[in-house]
Amino acid sequence: MSWMNIELVLLIVLPAVIAVIMAFSSSFKQRTRNILAVTGAGIELCLVFSLFLLNFEAVKSSEFFLQFTTGYSNTPFVINFAMDNLSLLFSLIVTAAVFLIVIFSTQYIRDKESRYFALFFLVLASIQGSILTADLFTLYLFIEAITVFTTPLISFKKTEKTTRAALQYFFYGITGGVFFFISIILIYFNLGTLKMAAVADSFALISTPMQLTIIIFFLLALLIKLGIFPIHFWLPRAHSACPAPISALLSGVLLKVYLYIFMRLFWTMIAFDFLVELHLSAFVLDLALVSSLIGHVFALQADELKKMLAYSSIGHIGMILAVLMLNTEAAFYGGLLHIIAHMMMKSGLFLSSGYLLRTTLSHHIDDLKGIGHKNRLVFIAFIIICLGTIGMPPLIGFVSKWFVLLAFLEARHYFGAFVVGAGSIIALIYYLRYISQAYETVKTENKTLREELVSLKVFFKSTNIMKNVIYLFTLLIIIFGLSYQFFEMPINTAIFELLNPQKYIELVLGG
Amino acid sequence: MFNNLIFIILFMLGFYALVMKTNLIKNVIGLNIMEAAVFFWVISFSDVGGEVSIHKLGEEVTKFNDPVPQALTLTGIVIGASTAALLLTLIIELNKFSGTIDREKIEGLND
């Protein structure tokens, strides 16, 4: 077993260790704590990136595979972590986004930082765990851990609104977890194993009604966690109540992790043919499309900036799920590219909304009057990211939406294509509503030039890191929009994993 | 068959309390009943009338109960206890702010 295999465990252990240090860091200086947080996330990113670079040839030829096993290796009950191209892609983008969010939150969070970072790094550890794990029970544990650790983060600023949102989020998350547990138990009693690869090998042996039950419980659990239409109303509340970096984490990163788990379960573990055979794939596709439309329509009436962004997240996640359910190569390409694009855009939007809150009273649309005049550059960045979300040509949002649209047209699913187009048009309306409000001219109180300069200097000094992170997200959106081919190789190898689950199964069972 | 029936009754009871009751404490109780139902069910399946699966020196054990569901249940109980604690903490916090633990009233305040 080489050091690379051990690195898999290190990816999970390192954030957990940092979380423990952070929990006892209340006596540290603020600067020390911030440096520790940024270096911790940075080392995590370096670890994942080194895995990518050192195995570049293997990744390119779709042969990349690492695994780590502990326990009695001759029994079916071992703790097993595995990484293939799909998990490498997700691990990479998730860690990169989390790294930027950590840098942002070093300046954004002003009180109880030790508790904040402890919980944040525990969430990061559970995210890495749920991406890397290769057996179902560990997956269940990590999913529950994500729910448990994000709840106190949602109610971080203790007000009535946040507590209510956290409570609702937690009720739904735990109910989803119970459904997930039932499905795991059913699999265990039918097959006597919890290894995903072993389950994949013998899933066809289960009787059809039992297959249906297992799949339905898995679907219920994951649709609750993803916030798809009938069970979506916890999502905008939870995602708008928390501090801005946590909104970015929930909306930008966590929803993608659940999408990854969805792919891992329904393409690697339970072959997608079963979903098609049981007529569930068409149902989920339509549900996701309806959810997408409803998310965009509800975003129209949301009078609060963050609530609007959260509803728009529902719209985008519904679209991604729908396009993945088409189960073609083009659909995977569009879906995975839009996952990356949406991760960058939504994180950027939520972070800049958090920055804008510094200069206004609240996120309500009436309070945003004239905000575009007050902080020009940040608002221009905000507009660029908005345009990316709508789908303007040079930005990455356009490229990914284009591929999604192509996939729908190629599959001759015109309702899907309609939803993509309609979503873009509705998004244009609700973003313009906020942007036009921001450039309303308002009477500003007259300060003397000297006063203004002094206050401006203090303000710039205290917020420059946050600004730079927002500009970085904007730049990334422009650069990757122009050179989206950069993602072509990783995404294509991830698609290879989705289309040939046999490779993953054989390698996990063989080692 | 009997354990399936008990599981379905208990689970539905818990689900009813979770969805239909407006008192938040009752919702937590419902959630816990749901979890307990699943745990009972798991344990009842793992019991095949054999020995307890603990290794004893010098004794031949021919038939033993499956230890894995018991391990799963133990972990599940730990998770259930911690989630219940967190939920109750949040409810106490909420009660401080709004003075009520009625879900309808709390949700009707705004939005």
Q: Determine the pLDDT at residue A42.
A: 92
Q: Which residues of B touch A189 (CB under 8 A)?
A: 45
User: Could you give the residue ranges of the DSSP H alpha helices within A192-254?
Assistant: 196-202, 208-226, 234-241, 244-247
Contact state of B111 with A237 under an 8 Å Cβ cutoff: yes
DSSP states of A294-329: HHHHHHHH--BHHHHHHHHHHHHHHHHHHHHHT-SH
Q: Determine the pLDDT at residue A260.
A: 92
Residue B14: phi and psi, rounded to 5, are: -65, -40
Which region holds residue B61: left if phi is over 0, alpha if psi is between -120 and 50, else beta? beta
Q: How far is CA A418 from CA A292, A341, A412, in A?
A: 11, 20, 11
Instruction: Among B38, B76, B91, select the one facing A167 at the smallest CB separation.
Output: B91
> Which residues, 6+ apart, have CB-to-CB distance to A336 below 8 Å?
A89, A491, A494, A495
Q: Determine the pLDDT at residue A110.
A: 78
Q: Which residues of B touch A174 (CB under 8 A)?
A: 31, 83, 87
pLDDT tens digits, one per residue of B26-85: 989 999 998 899 888 888 877 777 666 666 666 666 677 777 888 888 888 998 898 999
Q: Which residues of A touch B42 (CB under 8 A)?
A: 185
Q: Which residue does chain B place closest to A156, by CA atoms?
A: B90
- Please, is B101 exposed, middle or buried when counting C-beta atoms within 10 Å of its C-beta (0-12, 13-18, 19+)? middle
pLDDT tens digits, one per residue of B10-30: 989 998 998 888 888 998 999
Q: Which residues of A touch B69 (CB under 8 A)?
A: 185, 188
Contact state of A160 with B109 under an 8 Å Cβ cutoff: yes
CB A196 within 8 A of CB A501: no
Give the separation between CA A112 and CA A159, rounded to whole angstroms.
Answer: 15
- The answer to whether residue B106 neighbours chain A at the CB level (below 8 Å) is yes
Q: Which residue does chain B place closest to A185, by CA atoms?
A: B42
- The answer to whether residue B29 neighbours chain A at the CB level (below 8 Å) is no
Q: Determine the pLDDT at residue A2.
A: 73
Grade residue B109 by pLDDT with cuts at 50, 70 and 90. Answer: very low
CB A251 within 8 A of CB A150: no
> Distance (Å) from the C-alpha of residue B94 to the closest C-alpha of chain A?
6
| Topology classification of domain B2-44+65-107 | Helix Hairpins (1.10.287)
Mutation for testing the B interface, residue in A75, A139, A151, A181 having most B CBs under 10 Å: A181
- With b for 16 or more beta-carbon neighbours within 10 A and e for fewer, the A359-394 pattern comes to ebeebebeebebbbeebeebbebbbbbbbbbbbbee
Structure pTM? 0.91
Mutation for testing the B interface, residue in A72, A78, A140, A164 having most B CBs under 10 Å: A164
Please state the domain extents for chain B: 2-44+65-107
Read off the amino acid at residue A297: V
Q: Which residue does chain B place closest to A155, by CA atoms?
A: B90
CA A186 to chain CA mean position, Å: 29
Nearest to A260 by CA among A333, A336, A314, A146: A336
Q: Which two tokens stand for residue A137?
A: 């029970």
Which ranges of chain A have pLDDT less than 50?
none
C-alpha count within 13 angstroms, C-beta hemisphere, residue A60: 6
Q: Determine the pLDDT at residue A82.
A: 86
Contact state of A160 with B35 under an 8 Å Cβ cutoff: no
Q: Number of CB pairs < 8 Å for A and B?
A: 71
